[in-house]
Amino acid sequence: MDERALRVARLIADEPSRPGDHHGVAGNLRRLCSAAGRALSASGAGLSVVVGDRMRGVAAVSEPAYEPVEELQFTLGEGPCLDAFATRRPVLVPDLSAAAMWRWPGYATALHGKGIRAVFAFPLQIGAARLGAFDVFRDEPGPLTADEFRDALTFADVAVTTLLDGQARAAPGAAADGLDDEVVGQRAELFQAQGMVAVQLGISLADALARLRAYAYAEDRALGDVARDVVARRVSFNSGPS
């Protein structure tokens, strides 16, 4: 392990646990995000993973306030994280008020409204395998320094190792310890809600997802929360909120 990797590993190990931290992989990833936020002069950091059949979800954030920020890309279906995952390359946006408004109009506008001025996304990958993306948020515009960029890549590498080690210890067919509720549960609810809306409106699953996203955006809510309300029948797309 090189000097930079050792330093990043120490930063994560020294990050204290907090009340409400999950055990296992999810707790380790939360501490990783928190340590990264400090090391990279960020206002916050988040990590999203992909498991199974394209099931996506927020696995960890540095602070609870950043969970809806990290979730926003899934609500809108666009953003640097999704692009980093798709292209397998970092996506660096030092100023959300510039070209990002054209590239991701919904995402950039919504994030800007939440006080975020820069975002940097790094793919979580090893060989041909893609696991998700690691996001760094800042409340001031400006690029990462060369050292910060290399540190961010190292944090992403550690996240990959954490996910793979956790999955290696999991039972066959199960998610890594601590990620079941964080990821699989979120996506299962979304799939169920998607099917319910498709039946309610007589539309395709793709159109149902678009309706869910539009509703979440209009109500300024996380997509996962809207899906949970649909499954619990607190929200119906036939009659609106009950």
Residue 143 and residue 137 in contact, taking contact as beta carbons nearer than 8 Å: no
Is the pLDDT confidence value at 241 over 50? no
Helix axes 105-113, 67-76, angle to 10 degrees: 160
Q: What mean pLDDT value characterizes the chain?
A: 82
Residue in 4, 26, 156 with CA at minimum distance from that of residue 88:
156
Q: What is the pLDDT of residue 205?
A: 77
| Per-residue tokens: 100 | 């990002």
DSSP letter string over 52-75?
Answer: TTTEEEEEEESSGGGHHHHHHHHH
Residue 203 DSSP SS3:
coil
Sign of the four-CA dihedral 168, 173, 177, 182 = positive
Segment 223-240 shows an average pLDDT of: 80
Tell me what pLDDT residue 101 has: 84
Q: Would you say residue 172 has pLDDT above 70?
A: no
Residue 8: Cβ-neighbour burial (10 angstroms; 0-12, 13-18, 19+): buried
Residue 49 neighbours by CB under 8 Å, 6+ apart:
56, 57, 59, 124, 131, 132, 163, 179, 183
In Å, what is the CA distance from 180 to each residue of 171, 174, 175?
12, 8, 6
pTM of the entire predicted model: 0.74
